[in-house]
A and B are shown apart, each in its own frame.
Chain A
Amino acid sequence: MRRETGKIYGRDAFIAHISGKLGRKEPLLHAPERLFRGVPDFYEKIRLDESGKVNLFAESWTALGGNVRVVKREEAKEAIGAYVLKVCAEFKVNRAVRWDHAQLDSLDLDDSLAGAGVEVVLWRENGESEVREAEPDTAEDSGSVKQGKGTAAGGMAGRAAELEEAADVPTANGGGTNRSRREPLLQAAEQCRMGIVWPDYAIANTGTLVLLAQGGRGRSVSLLPEILVAVFRSDQLVTRMGEVFERIKADDSQTNELPSSINFITGPSRSADIENDLTIGVHGPGNVHAIIIE
């Protein structure tokens, strides 16, 4: 799918009207001069060393109700495998979806998870069909992913098709060349209770994961499941949000274009909409884990 430039409708008259209102005969064509931009100077100067950042991140993340585990580089593989398995056991997770990411590959998580009977859906084309057939759902642990109609046991693709068919609402199925291929993957991820990602950055002072979407790094992996596990190295931590923008701009200096979706995730999904009671895990994951490799 080659990307096309989008179209712009009704712009000239609209902007000419605004210029007129602002007292200009012609729309402004050159960037206006600025005496300042971005955050105040004192804030920009704040710098923390790596352990300072790890501590601050851990403090912020746990204050929000998130879990933090710091592991040493030498023991990362074993420690992370054990931790993820522990979470799976605790919440009776039997299916997890993870980013198709080299750093996650190197942790050999899939094998240890498979050993414990947890199937792993990889976020890539046909990721769902590589999955070994799952143990049939037990009523107990499928409760929270059950979607009303059409979630009976069966192969992933079959389940997706059923959902499509049995849905309450008719779906217009037009356009989109790889829609049909992406659909089963989305439906498969929907059936997973745990999502595993490798964030691109993490921000210490707010306790925030930064995820750049691209190919195998799907947006849905950090969104659809109720448990989120994020693994990253301590050198991926920055102190404040602005440093993330600096790094992204530096990385994309050739294309001068941001990824299609950047997600900042700060703790578990929450709502205070019912009588101002804090509710955790309304639409996104309510149970969030950050594993930092030092």
Chain B
Amino acid sequence: MSAAPGKHGAAVPDETQLIGSGLKKRTETALSDEFLRNAVAFTTDKLRGGRLNAMSEFGNWEQWRERGRAIREHTIRHLDYYLAEFSDNVAKAGGNVYFCRTAEDAVKTFLDIAERRKAKLVAKGKSMVSEEIHLNRHLEERGIQAIETDLGEYILQLAKETPSHLIIPAIHKNKRQIADLFAQEAGEPFPPETQALAAYAKRKLRNYFLEADIGLTGCNFGVAETGSITLVSNEGNARMVSTIPKVHVVVMGMERLVPTLDDLEVMLNLLPRSATGQKLTTYVSLITGPKREGDWDGPEELHVIILDNGRSAQLGDPVFQEVLHCIRCAACLNVCPVYRHVGGHTYGSVYSGPIGAVLTPLLQQDMKEAGQLAYASSLCGACYEACPVKIPLHDMLVHLRHRKVRMGLTPAAERAAFKLYRTAFGNVKLYRFAAKAAYYLQKPLLRKGAIRSAPGPMSGWTRSRFFPMKPKRSFRERWAELQRQLERERTREQTEAGGETR
């Protein structure tokens, strides 16, 4: 798959929509949006604070983290076994399972189910995978209405935008903008007050729950030993869409499994604490098959679509297999200095932040455009520190950059520069000469001890910061001199001390 256009539903890709080529432009737009920057910083601070509190209150966090990592590692290493066990048990409980290698397969499978049920209305719980496969667009093309029922996702659907955070999708919208969207939808004005807005959404969405032909959800964890689908939510919309419509369709990534209920307990302790700082989300539902005989509610049919879509390419990879351990808590977004400044849309794809910068090029198997995201990071490692299953995202970002270089996808000037750099740093004499030369070469550019405006390819650096001046004497030279000076002082002290005792 290439960096497909149409992330925002447009037919013709303009450059800002290309993941890599538009990255700079989108970054500039985001950085000049004061509200966005404040909103993202405020919310991520709050989420990060919540996580830190929850961690310290819970205690032994490192042990939990290590256990989480180990469970994920074990599951992914034996994914063939657990997928077989999981699907057997879903079927035993009366659900159908569809294994889909590509996004196209998954979309087609869903459309077939919808067609068989003559569905006109699909009520959706939050599902990143459905965003990944652009299901809404395909449904729209078939004349099937798909309604997002998570409050944040509903707001974005009205605004015709995509999520900019895994947990708080409409993190970038303010009350005034939301009130305007709702006013347009309802045909009457709304005060920009949270309670009034939420009440409207509740009333509006209640009808959709009751009338939907199909309820669609993602899956936070599939439990292999029981064939259960675990859904985690705070609002209750995931419960609604998996309880009221006659048909429940689950779309899940193939890696989203845990072996047993015991392991699920670990994940349910890690996920909410890492995501929002809650001990547990308000609702956790374990769904095992469709409704049973004698049940008066619950769906009559359960369909589980299991998607590969680039995931299996990471299996067996010594570096990237671990990216499949991710439980989508967004803790890495909240601590990332880059995400906190530019928000999610800048990443130009469904998954944003450090996990998005790694996952997007891997899933799309596109290093040229999507691979550019590996540079949207300072490599500080805060993402790894925050990750509840210890995915070394910062290392992966370096490996992605390496891969991009190996594939010859970096600009010619950059390659030439690094070649020069390698030659100079690989030879002491050459290095010394280059260092001396740099001191004299910089002179025409210096203003007040720094390069404030550099020409050509260096201007990218000096546009937003100064380049420090290369001092006349290198650290090496100064260090050697310092050593000599210390030696001299020591000899003097010894002589003086010797004089006194005598």
Q: Could you list which residues of chain A lie within 8 angstroms of chain B, going by C-beta atoms?
A: 1-11, 13-15, 17-19, 21-24, 27-32, 34, 36-40, 42-43, 60, 64, 123-125, 146-148, 163, 167-172, 174-176, 178-179, 182, 185-187, 190, 205-208, 213-216, 218-220, 223, 240-242, 245, 249, 257-277, 279, 281-284
Binary contact readout B274-314 vs A (1 if CB under 8 angstroms, 0 otherwise): 00101111111111111111111110111000101000110
Number of residues of chain B lying within 8 A (CB) of chain A: 123
Q: Which of A8, A30, A269, A273 makes the CB contact (< 8 A) with B97?
A: A8
Interface with A: B233-241, B414-422, B480-488, which one? B233-241
* Interchain CA distance A220-B261 in the complex, whole Å: 24
* Interchain CA distance A59-B33 in the complex, whole Å: 42
Question: Cβ of B99 < 8 Å from any Cβ of A?
Answer: yes
Most buried by A among B119, B208, B262: B262
Given A274-B175, A274-B178, A274-B194, A29 and B262 contact (CB-CB distance below 8 Å)? no
B-side contacts of A34, CB under 8 Å: 74, 259
B211 to A171, Cβ gap below 8 A?
Answer: yes
Q: B213's closest neighbor in chain A, by CB?
A: A172
Question: Cβ of B91 < 8 Å from any Cβ of A?
Answer: yes
Could you pull out 13 A-B pairs where Cβ atoms are within 8 angstroms? A6-B95, A6-B96, A8-B99, A10-B100, A14-B99, A14-B306, A36-B70, A169-B120, A174-B117, A260-B289, A274-B198, A276-B39, A282-B198
* Interchain CA distance A206-B57 in the complex, whole Å: 12
A23 to B295, Cβ gap below 8 A?
Answer: no
Binary contact readout B73-102 vs A (1 if CB under 8 angstroms, 0 otherwise): 010011111011101101111111111110
Q: B66's closest neighbor in chain A, by CB?
A: A40
B-side contacts of A32, CB under 8 Å: 74, 77-78, 81
A214 to B240, Cβ gap below 8 A?
Answer: no
Q: B91-129: which have CB < 8 Å to A?
A: 91-101, 105, 109, 117-121
Given A40-B64, A266-B280, A6 and B246 contact (CB-CB distance below 8 Å)? no
**From DSSP, what is the main secondary structure of chain A's interface residues?**
loop
Q: B311's closest neighbor in chain A, by CB?
A: A18
Q: B214's closest neighbor in chain A, by CB?
A: A172
Question: Cβ of B151 < 8 Å from any Cβ of A?
Answer: yes
B-side contacts of A13, CB under 8 Å: 99
Question: Cβ of B170 < 8 Å from any Cβ of A?
Answer: yes
- Kindly provide the distance from the CB of B340 to the nearest chain A CB, expressed in whole angstroms: 14
B84 to A258, Cβ gap below 8 A?
Answer: no
B312 to A17, Cβ gap below 8 A?
Answer: yes
- Kindly provide the distance from the CB of B55 to the nearest chain A CB, expressed in whole angstroms: 14
Given A223-B240, A282-B235, A262 and B286 contact (CB-CB distance below 8 Å)? yes
Q: B25-64: which have CB < 8 Å to A?
A: 39, 42-43, 46, 60, 63-64
B298 to A219, Cβ gap below 8 A?
Answer: yes
Q: Which of B93, B152, B297 makes the CB contact (< 8 A) with A218?
A: B297
B-side contacts of A31, CB under 8 Å: 81, 85
Most buried by B among A13, A18, A172: A18
CB-based closest 3 A-B pairs: A284-B236, A38-B262, A273-B152
Question: Cβ of B341 < 8 Å from any Cβ of A?
Answer: no
Q: Could you list which residues of chain B lie within 8 angstroms of chain A, going by C-beta atoms?
A: 39, 42-43, 46, 60, 63-64, 67, 70-71, 74, 77-81, 83-85, 87-88, 90-101, 105, 109, 117-121, 145, 149-152, 155, 168-171, 173-175, 178, 194-195, 197-198, 201-203, 205-211, 213, 226, 228, 234-237, 239-240, 242-244, 246, 254, 259-266, 268-269, 276, 278-298, 300-302, 306, 308, 312-313, 315-316
Q: A123's closest neighbor in chain B, by CB?
A: B296
B296 to A182, Cβ gap below 8 A?
Answer: yes
A-side contacts of B276, CB under 8 Å: 272
B315 to A215, Cβ gap below 8 A?
Answer: no
B288 to A6, Cβ gap below 8 A?
Answer: no
B169 to A273, Cβ gap below 8 A?
Answer: yes
Q: B278's closest neighbor in chain A, by CB?
A: A266
Q: B95's closest neighbor in chain A, by CB?
A: A6
* Interchain CA distance A163-B210 in the complex, whole Å: 9
